Structure formats: structure tokens, C-alpha cells
């Protein structure tokens, strides 16, 4: 899936900007946890390089508390190739 994901036996690890976003907002782990309903230890685990990927509701709660997009905190570094398919209607159809 790209360099931002690393697979382990039971979960995925994701690179993230959570710690930097939290510090930029002037928040401690405890204050961010209070704002989004998560424990300090859970947030600490998510911030670590070896931390697991959050669930979608958790990611949205954190992003909302930091006034950021989920993608600002957990950037999608995978490369997506888009193809445009042009469909032409046959004459007289």
C-alpha cells in the first residue's frame, strides 16, 4: 500500500503527524484526550512510530478536536493512478 503502512501480525501501523498537530495546537495528551474522549495512554500509543492505526471514529474525533482534516494527521502517501474512460455513444443510439 505504500510507505505509510507497515503490516504486523494483527494490525497496521501508520505514519502520522498527530504529535506535531497536538503540539502545534498547544495541547497536552491529557487535554486532547479530554477534548475527544480518549485516554492519554491511547493517544500516546497512536502518536508513537510503532503505534497502531486508529479506527475511523477515533481518527475523526481527534481531527475534530484539533480542527484538522483526518488526512492532515494521517496523510495518505499511496499513489493513486486515475484513468479516464471516455464512452462515446454510438451514432443513432
Query: The domain that contains 34 carries what CATH number?
Result: 1.10.260.40
Q: Looking at the domain assignment, is residue 45 inside a domain? A: yes
Number of domains into which the chain is organized: 1
3-state secondary structure of 74: coil
Residues 10-48: pLDDT tens digits? 445 678 899 999 999 999 999 999 999 999 999 999 998
Which range of residues forms the domain containing residue 51?
5-73
Domain contains 11: yes
At 12 the pLDDT is 58
pLDDT of residue 76: 75
Residue 84 is assigned to a structural domain of this protein:
no
Q: Is residue 80 part of a domain?
A: no
The enclosing H or E element of 5 equals: strand 5-7
Residue whose C-alpha is closest to residue 15's, from 63, 62, 41, 53: 53
Q: Which phi and psi (to 5°) does residue 91 adopt?
A: -60, 135
Amino acid at each position: 500500500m505504500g510507505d505509510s503502512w507497515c503490516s504486523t501480525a494483527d494490525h497496521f501501523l501508520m505514519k502520522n503527524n498527530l504529535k506535531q498537530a497536538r503540539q502545534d495546537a498547544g495541547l497536552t495528551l491529557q487535554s486532547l484526550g479530554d477534548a475527544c474522549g480518549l485516554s492519554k495512554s491511547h493517544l500516546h500509543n497512536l502518536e508513537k512510530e510503532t503505534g497502531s492505526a486508529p479506527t475511523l471514529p477515533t481518527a475523526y474525533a481527534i481531527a475534530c478536536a484539533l480542527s484538522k482534516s483526518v488526512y492532515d494527521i494521517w496523510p495518505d502517501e499511496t499513489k493513486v493512478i486515475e484513468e479516464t474512460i471516455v464512452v462515446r455513444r454510438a451514432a443513432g443510439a
